[in-house]
Amino acid sequence: MTRRLEGRVALISGTGGGQGRAAALRFVADGAIVVGCDVNAKADAETARLVAEAGGQMTTMVCDLGDPDGARSWIERAVTDHGRIDILYNNASAAKFGSIAELSVEDWRFTIRNELDLVFLTTKFAWLHLAKQGGSIINVASTAGWQGSRGNGTIAHNATKGGVVAMTRQMALEGAPLGIRANSISPGFVITPGTRAFVDNPAVRAQLTASIPLGRPGEPEDIVGMAAFLATDEAAFITGADIIIDGGTTAC
């Protein structure tokens, strides 16, 4: 593994598990200094322990990024501790699911807050810090932003993830003159704590896996390698893009 992000300060949200934990481990292996964040203190402490065990440098903070004060304090603490922000990886999210008829207004708002608001808030507060020396934003969208889901009640999740793709394009346009690149990644079905309920249900898992041409669900490591690449100078001419990583599902 080359240390192609040596010394860069990378803020990664949702480092308590799944892709966020894998990202923290991947980015420190590439030489980055990681600043993590999660609402789940115990899970995030475990990530920090794993990173330290791997010889990486990571600080972390328990905060709710859907709250403007939480998002602001995460960014300010990173700048106080490290003096700069080079990479903002908006990975954290939480969604509620339900059919159009059944999803409550509260669950709709919960999803917008925890999948869309937090991307805007962290980006807003990090923006001028990224602009100081240029930087890279990686937003995690989803194939749910590109296609509906038969029978799975994903209306709010479709809205937020489509919104993340759209916001990324705007970030790319506003960021270009400032040296800020912004891209999104749209994963398909990936095995993480967030998909545990689907993974543990043999019928649902089989149905989801059958829709994947490569014949298996993704692992967090299938996603975070692309995020690390997008953060490097090798991706210097890539901005405003959405990279779909889904084992071929949306090719069908």
Ligand X SMILES: NC(=O)c1ccc[n+]([C@@H]2O[C@H](COP(=O)([O-])OP(=O)(O)OC[C@H]3O[C@@H](n4cnc5c(N)ncnc54)[C@H](O)[C@@H]3O)[C@@H](O)[C@H]2O)c1
CA distances from 52 to 18, 28, 82, 94, 136 (A): 18, 10, 18, 27, 25
Q: Which of 114, 123, 183, 239 binds ligand X (CB under 6 A)?
A: 114
Note whether 95 and 115 are within 8 A (CB).
yes
Q: Does 204 help bind ligand X (rule: CB under 6 A)?
A: no
Q: Does 92 help bind ligand X (rule: CB under 6 A)?
A: yes
CB of 203 to ligand X, least distance (A): 17
**Which region among 9-17, 52-60, 104-112, 236-244 touches ligand X (by CB under 6 A)?**
9-17
Q: Provide the CA 22 distance to its chain's centre, in angstroms.
A: 11
Q: Does 184 help bind ligand X (rule: CB under 6 A)?
A: no
CB of 18 to ligand X, least distance (A): 2
Which residues have a Cβ under 8 Å from the Cβ of 194 and sit 6 or more positions away?
Answer: 17, 18, 94
| Crossing angle between the packed helical segments 68-82 and 118-133, to the nearest 10 degrees | 30
**Which region among 33-41, 97-105, 126-134, 170-178 touches ligand X (by CB under 6 A)?**
33-41
CB of 63 to ligand X, least distance (A): 6
Residue list 139-168, contact with ligand X (CB under 6 A) = 140, 142
Identity of the residue, 6 or 219, whose beta carbon is nearer to ligand X in the bound complex: 219
Q: Which of 91, 123, 154, 239 binds ligand X (CB under 6 A)?
A: 91
Identity of the residue, 6 or 76, whose beta carbon is nearer to ligand X in the bound complex: 76
Q: Does 68 help bind ligand X (rule: CB under 6 A)?
A: no
Q: Does 73 help bind ligand X (rule: CB under 6 A)?
A: no
Contacting residues toward ligand X, per CB under 6 A: 13-14, 16-20, 37-40, 43, 64-66, 91-94, 114, 118, 140, 142, 187, 189-190, 192-195
